[in-house]
Amino acid sequence: MHDHDHAHLHADADAAPLARALALIVAFMAAEVAVAVIAGSLALLADAAHMLVDAVALGLSVYAARLALRPPSGRMTFGFRRAEILAAQANGITLLLLALLIVAEAARRLVSPPHVHGGLVVGTAVAGAAVNVAALTQVARANRESLNVQGSYKHLLTDLYAFAGTAIAGAVVWATGFERADPIASLAVAASMLWAAVPLIRAAGRVLLEAAPEGVDPAEVGAALRGHAGVANVHDLHIWEISSGFPALSAHVLVERDEDCHRIRRELETVLHDRFSLDHTTLQVEHTADRLLWPKRG
């Protein structure tokens, strides 16, 4: 059983809102870099750097979503669906690396804090938060089950946290002159980026390593297949994800010699669909008598 059309529709619906969010981020980022340099704010510059990564991440996500629309052909027998997983992993890694860079610079500025124009920081952070909310609204319209979309969403969400922290730091500097508030806010931004990056990298890694999807227990699936009437045994059971929301299963099924192979295969496919939401399945069904004629595997 296959569900290519459903996956294709999801990928098609993802690209447009991601592209609109990308346009918003790029438009604001250029202005923020200029203000960050004038204000001398690391927190604001960290936000701008994060928005640059957001722009790259969203651009990559848009490209991956478009690439996923290509049908299977030639050597790419599953199409380009896994491009979305590669984009999600790249997004997670860039978040991680950028967080580490911000931590290093914040530590330096805690020791020797530069002068910060608090008023400029507050005004830019508030404007940035508004742009970020608009971009988040666009990305939220896409399929949030997709790791590709989830990666972009987490980028933007941590950016929103960053703007909130930056606005608070700017207000503190503006009101009290405590300029170390700026690198302290940067550390909070870095922490939120790490919090978003680690689960994203882990989830993308699970797909690339072809682990079973979250919520699907291979032992439970195997027991359900073996317990079906007429099934003698199940071998070589594999469950993995081709991309987000596109799980797949393959297995060799041995049935009793007097059973109808085709009927049992159809019944097992129904079980896999109804109980485990597995639609892309490949079941090789054989009679036990046929199996005994095969040479034993080493």
Count of CA atoms in the C-beta half-sphere (13 A) of 274: 8
Per-residue burial over 158-169, b if 16 or more Cβ lie within 10 Å, else e, is bbbbbbbbbbbb
- Domains, the chain, with CATH or none: 4-208 (1.20.1510.10), 218-292 (3.30.70.1350)
The CA-based diameter of the chain, rounded to the nearest angstrom, is 86
Q: Decide: 153 and 25 in contact? Cβ < 8 Å.
A: no
- Would you give the end-to-end CA distance of the chain in angstroms? 31
Q: CA–CA distance from 35 to each of 20, 24, 29, 129 (Å)?
A: 24, 17, 10, 15
Task: 184-189: list long-range contacts, CB under 8 Å, 24+ apart.
Answer: 184/106, 184/110, 185/43, 186/42, 186/43, 186/46, 186/102, 186/105, 186/106, 186/109, 187/102, 187/103, 187/106, 188/161, 189/43, 189/46, 189/47, 189/50, 189/99, 189/102, 189/158, 189/161, 189/162, 189/165
Residue 58 structure tokens: 């969203």
DSSP string covering 50-100, please? HHHHHHHHHHHHHHHHHHTTSPPBTTBTTTTTTHHHHHHHHHHHHHHHHHH
Q: What pLDDT does 263 receive?
A: 93
Q: Residues for the chain: how many in total? A: 298
Look over the chain and give the mean of its residue pLDDT values, rounded to a whole number: 80
Of the two residues 122 and 7, the one the predictor is more confident about is 122
Q: Looking at the chain, which runs of residues are DSSP E strands?
A: 231-243, 246-255, 280-287
- Distance in angstroms (rounded) separating the CA atoms of residues 46 and 48: 5
pTM for the full predicted model: 0.69
DSSP structural state of residue 296 = P
Q: Is the pLDDT of residue 226 over 90?
A: yes
Percent of the chain with pLDDT over 90: 17
Residue 33 structure tokens: 């870099």
DSSP structural state of residue 228 = S
Q: How far is CA 63 from the centre of its chain?
A: 14
Angle CA 27–29–32, to nearest 5: 120
Q: What is the pLDDT of residues 79-129, one digit of tens each?
A: 777 887 888 888 888 888 888 888 888 888 888 877 777 787 788 788 888
Q: How far is CA 276 from the centre of its chain?
A: 22
Residue 239 structure tokens: 């469950």
Residue 8 structure tokens: 């294709």
Return the top range by mean pLDDT from 3-12, 120-129, 248-257.
Answer: 248-257
Q: Is the pLDDT of residue 2 over 70?
A: no
Return the top range by mean pLDDT from 102-111, 184-193, 228-237.
Answer: 228-237
